[in-house]
Amino acid sequence: MKSKEKAKQAIFYSYTRYINGFAAILEDEEAAEISKHPEVVSVSRNRISQLHTTNSWGFLGLERNGEIPADSMWLKARFGEDVIIGTLDSGVWPESESFNDEGMGPVPSKWKGYCDPNDGIKCNRKLIGARYFSKGYEAAETHDSSYHTARDYDGHGTHTLSTAGGRFVSGANLLGSAYGTAKGGSPNSRVASYKVCWPRCSDADVLAGYEAAIHDGVDILSVSLGSGQEEYITDGIAIGAFLAMERGILVVAAAGNDGPDPGVVGNVAPWILTVGYSTISRDFTSNVILGNNKQYKGVSFNTNTQPAGKSYPLINSVDAKAANVSSNQAKYCSIGSLDPLKVKGKIVYCTRNEDPDVEKSLVVAQAGGVGVILANQLIIQQIRPRAHFVPTSVISADDGLSILTYVYSTKSPVAYISGATEVGTVAAPVMADFSSPGPNFITPEILKPDITAPGVNILAAFTGASGPTDVPGDRRRVHFNFISGTSMACPHVSGIAGLLNTMHPDWSPAAIKSAIMTTATTISNVKQPIANASLLEANPLNYGAGHIWPCRAMDPGLVYDLTTKDYVNFLCSIGYNSTQLSLFIGKPYICQPHNNGLLDFNYPSITVPNLSSNKTTLSRTLKNVGTPSLYRVNIRAPGGISVKVEPRSLKFDKINEEKMFKVTLEAKKGFKSNDYVFGEITWSDGKHHVRSPVVVKKMAVAA
């Protein structure tokens, strides 16, 4: 520029702490001139971007490029206005901005709940209930005063409650990452917290929470907890969910995080909407740049950054082990395994294992290290960013081997870890590695999970009492945090269920569940089948009916409906007797014989776990919840199985009209299999597409 004075006037930001640069108002010619300077790396325009959401709701189609389109389910459902969503969880941090009540009207008159004031808890027109139940846990565990409050000292409950029903909060971020606007699925809902986890959750407390929530008047219950597969009438979560279903309350529950081994899905009762978890189209990348200028892509949150371009000595953790520590302990950067004299001022190469990733970065930080390159192992599938204590990049196993080769072939190896960059072009959804898959071992005829939803790297409100990691001694405090798991996917579905409840207050819990399941998608954002964690094609045992598609669910056309009597008949068909069921439902009941009771159960998916003969026929009934229309069936048969549907078309003339159809499954001649095969049946009138997965297993038969 022509003068120093003009240059000073043009500059409005000088970056000296982490970036060597400036921002200024320049003419095109001036920018071009500066770009020619040999010490200038780049000159770029000041691009204007929309504020980014916490991303998952945009990925689900409720908003687009930061704007809410006219056809968004949010607008049509008035953002879930006055629906009441409750959670059974670890409590709530009421001071979170996600629960502010600005502009909200009076609490709905049907609400009978209250706010327990212990530990300074205050409710408002948004957070209308906060209660705790600890007697079951206290009976079995040593306890302290924190067990007498609904306040969330863990963070899990605040995270799930805000995901389901949190308000719009601008400026949400985790230590600088994912800066944008946080929001829940039903932002105008009323929310209530029932603390039943300390952090473990006693069935006694869970049932007490259910009872209170039902009495208080919740419309949707979100349950991000579980204990594997239990018999239905002895499982506290299933029992409470049945009681809620009887009173028109849909219970949405997490499938569990015990995958990828088959058959570990939890919360499998058919009256529960069971949710698996998968990725969204966002990632956080951080490059490792070695002294030989080779770069390796890793993942990281932007919680710490190193000065741009400055390289640091690089050491393998095994070569930095402390005295009297095994090489194996040092390899995994276990607590106390590193020698500060060898680590100080260096980037340390560590290897992942079952210990928390963030614990390794703390070990390095405490030893005086300035960064961590954390290499995956082949047996550990997915890599996720965490809130590390020093700049950290988590890399693949193959890249880790390449970096080690560099370390041992170079006299003075050095490296630099770049700051994290948010990337929005990732193929998604991909099923998460730990999402618990089917089959359902208690009742294999009921496909579980029912649905999958975003559950990886979900940013939502957090407690002010704990740090963003599970590492003891993490004294950092944040307003929002990233957490992954079916616990995070579950409240996404609960929020959508809340919107559906607002739009269709006359729908039964089964109708809401059916609408969500039959409108789900099995195709990713890159027009390919949803993949599993190994990037192979996933199937209904992983994702149930598919990935939730909210805007389709608000107008499903047809639903598979069920009543309390249908569920009791289901229990009868799986072996519970009249006495047991009479006690379970609290009134006399006599089991009636059902020749095909399980297979004819009117579930939105079809599963035949043992095609015991060459041919099986079952039935389903559809209810019209849309306009009069003619639906025709389209069949994609499972491999080796022929599928026949009668009739081939269903004509509905009025609302709530029901029509039955039969499905005949037959193994083709020569078909040999001892595994599940998958297909689907779709009823369509041209506008609506009512799709049900078909899952069949038949033992090998002779040719």
Residue positions annotated with a catalytic role: 89, 156, 487
Alpha-carbon gap, residue 458 to 493, rounded angstroms = 14
Residues 631 and 661 sit within 8 Å (Cβ to Cβ): no
Q: Assign 74 to helix, strand or coil.
A: helix
Residues 134 and 147 sit within 8 Å (Cβ to Cβ): yes
Residues 424 and 398 sit within 8 Å (Cβ to Cβ): no
> What backbone torsions phi and psi does residue 337 show, to the nearest 5 degrees?
-90, -10
Residues 680 and 529 sit within 8 Å (Cβ to Cβ): no
Residue 491 CA: distances (Å) to CA of 253, 338, 468, 520: 8, 41, 20, 17
Q: Dihedral angle at the C-alpha atoms of 113, 270, 566, 633, nearest 10 degrees? A: 120
Q: Assign 78 to helix, strand or coil.
A: helix
Alpha-carbon gap, residue 241 to 247, rounded angstroms = 10
Which residue intervals of 535-647 are DSSP H helices?
540-543, 550-553, 564-573, 578-585
> In the numeric block, which tokens belong to residue 586?
């609290």
Alpha-carbon gap, residue 495 to 163, rounded angstroms = 7
Q: Assign 381 to helix, strand or coil.
A: coil
Could you tell me which residues come within 8 angstroms of residue 113 by beta carbon, excluding any fewer than 6 positions away? 128, 129, 131, 192, 212, 215, 216, 217
